[in-house]
Amino acid sequence: MENLKKIIKQFPEVGEVSEIKTLTSGLINQTYLVKSTSPEEPDYVLQRINHLIFTNIEMLQHNIEVVTNHIRQKLENNHEEDIERKVLHFLSATNGKTFFYDGEGYWRISVFIPRSHTLEAVTPESSYLAGLKFGEFQAMLADVPEQLGEIIPDFHNMEFRLKQLHEAITNNAASRLAEVQDIVNAIEKDADMMCSAEQLYREGKLPKRICHCDTKVSNMLFDEDGKVLCVIDLDTVMPSFIFSDFGDFLRSAANTGKEDEKDLDNVKFNMEIFKAFVKGYIESARSFLTPIEIEMLPYAATLFPYMQAVRFLADYINGDTYYQTQYEGHNLVRTKAQYKLYLEAKAATTEMKAYISSLL
C-alpha cells in the first residue's frame, strides 16, 4: 500500500487517500480503487498497465487521449448532461503525461465514475440500450481526425490468431498438445470460413473503423437505471471491423454461462439478448453501416467466441503465458466454454438472419 501511495503522489490532482482496494476484473492489467478521504473529492481508479502486452505505452495513452477528448467534445457539442459520467478522464502526472513509470511498471489514474456499476449479466432491456450505445460509440469515432495506432497489431485478425495457434501447436512448449487434439481438430474444420472478414478486407469489400475491441459486458458502466454510461478499458481502441464490438459484446452478454463455465450445459446463446442488442445497434448504426457489414452481423456473433476459444487454447498449449489463470487447466476450461458458445451461436445463425431482415 505504501508503494501505491507513492505512485499516487505523482498525480497532483489526487488529494488525501483513505483506502486502496484491489478491483478484480480484467485478465491483463492490475486495477485498484482509490478512495478519497474528502467526500467532496471523487474516488479514483489506479492501474498498472501490463507493458509486456502493451509494449508501446506512449502510443497506448495517446490513442486513449485522442478518443476520450473526441468523445468529450462531441458530448459537449450535443449539450449532453452529466458528461463526467459518460467519458473517462485520465489525470496528468508530474511528468505532464497521463502515465507514470516508476522504474518497474507503468501507472495511470482515472476518475472513478460516481454512482456507476459494472454487470456480469444483462437483461434484454439493458442489452437494447447497450446496442444503441455501441452504435453511437462507433458513430462518434467515425470522424476522429487522425489515424490511430494499432496498439496490438492484428489484435482481432482471425488469420493471425490461427497462425498463433499453429505456432503453439508446433512448439508444444508445455507438452499439452495430445490432451487437446480433439478440440484442435474441431477448430481447424471451421478455420477457413471464420477468416472470411480478412478475405473480404483484402478484396476491398469490408472497411475498418475505430472500434473499442473489448466490449464485453464487464467493460461497461451502467447507471442507477440500468442505462449504459460509457465503455471503460480503452486499451484496445484501434481500427478494426465493426464486428469486434458487436461480436465481443454478445460473446459475454448472450452467453447464459460464464466465460470460464465448467458445466457446458449452462452455455447457451441467448436469442432474446441477441435480438434486443441488434435492434438497438441497427437503430443507431444503420446510417453508416454498409450492406455487407449488416449482412455479416450473425457471422460476427459466431466469430468472437470462436476467436476467443482459439486464443485461450493457444495460451493453454503455450503453458499459460498470456492470460492470468486461477487454477491449473483454467485456459482449457475457458477454451471449451467459448467453443461451446460458438457452436450454439452458429446453430442460431438462420434465426439471427431472419430477425435482422425483419428490422430493415
Write out the residues near Mg ion by the rule CB under 5 A.
214, 233, 235
Residue 308's binding partner out of ligand GN1, Mg ion, none, with CB under 5 to 8 Å set by partner kind: ligand GN1
Residue 308 in the binding site for ligand GN1 (CB under 6 A) = yes
Tell me how crowded residue 22 is: count the other CB atoms within 10 A of its CB.
8
Contacts of 277 (CB under 8 A, 6+ apart): 127, 128, 130, 131, 249, 250, 253, 254
> Sheet holding 30-36: strands in order across?
17-22, 30-36, 44-49, 106-111, 100-101
Q: Are 284 and 136 in contact (CB under 8 A)?
A: yes
Binders of ligand GN1 among residues 16 to 45 (CB under 6 A) are 26-28
Q: Which of 60, 131, 246, 259 binds ligand GN1 (CB under 6 A)?
A: 259
- Rounded to the nearest whole angstrom, what is the least distance from the CB of residue 291 to ligand GN1 in the complex? 28
Closer residue to ligand GN1 in complex, CB, 26/135: 26
Q: Which of 10, 138, 157, 236 binds ligand GN1 (CB under 6 A)?
A: 236
Give, for 16, the enclosing helix (H) or strand (E). none
- Rounded to the nearest whole angstrom, what is the least distance from the CB of residue 53 to Mg ion in the complex? 9
Could you give the C-alpha distances from 206 to 62, 123, 199, 243, 355, in angstroms and in order? 27, 31, 9, 11, 22
Residue 110 in the binding site for ligand GN1 (CB under 6 A) = no
- Rounded to the nearest whole angstrom, what is the least distance from the CB of residue 53 to ligand GN1 in the complex? 6
Q: Which of 90, 128, 134, 233 binds ligand GN1 (CB under 6 A)?
A: 233
Q: Are 23 and 47 in contact (CB under 8 A)?
A: no
- Rounded to the nearest whole angstrom, what is the least distance from the CB of residue 252 to ligand GN1 in the complex? 8
Residue 247 in the binding site for ligand GN1 (CB under 6 A) = no
Report the alpha-carbon distance of residue 278 to residue 3 in Å, rounded: 46
- Rounded to the nearest whole angstrom, what is the least distance from the CB of residue 248 to ligand GN1 in the complex? 6
Q: Write the burial class of residue 301 (CB in 10 Å: 0-12 exposed, 13-18 middle, 19+ buried).
A: buried
Chain residues in the site for ligand GN1 (CB under 6 A): 26-28, 53, 214, 216, 219, 233, 236, 259, 308
